Structures are given as C-alpha cells and as structure tokens.
Amino acid sequence: MRLFGKKKATPSPQQSIHRLRETIEMLTKREEFLEKKIEKELQIAKQNASKNKRGTICPLAYNH
C-alpha cells in the first residue's frame, strides 16, 4: 500500500551524466553573469569614490 503515489523511476547513468553536464553549464553561466555584475558594481563604486562617498556605499549595500 502506497500513501504518496508511485515510486519514481531511477534515471539511467547516461541521463544522470547529461543532467549533471546541464547543471554545470547553467552554473558556469551564472558564475560569469555574477562576475560581470561584480565588476560593473566595482567600477561604479570606484567612479563615485572620489566624488560621492554615500553614492559609493549605497549601490553595494542596497542593490539586489
């Protein structure tokens, strides 16, 4: 007697490898995106560092 539905089928080794490769690719793209975003924010902070101290801190602290 099963209370929560059918048992899920286990993926084949090839399917597992394919899924892991897709995950690696997605995480690599995410890493590149975040690195570019960090570089952009650092450039903005450096530009504002000499002129506007508050403008330097705010984007780093409050930007989501």
Q: State how far the Cα of 48 lies from the Cα of 46, in Å rounded to an integer.
A: 5
Could you tell me the two tokens for 26?
A: 């997605």
Name the pTM for this structure.
0.61
Per-residue pLDDT, 23 = 97
Q: What is the pLDDT along the chain (64 residues), one digit of tens a residue?
A: 567 777 778 889 999 999 999 999 999 999 999 999 999 988 887 877 777 666 666 665 655 5
Q: State how far the Cα of 64 lies from the Cα of 42, in Å rounded to an integer.
A: 15
- 44 Cβ contact list (under 8 Å, min separation 6): 59
55, 48 Cβ separation under 8 angstroms: yes
Residue bearing tokens 């903005």: 44
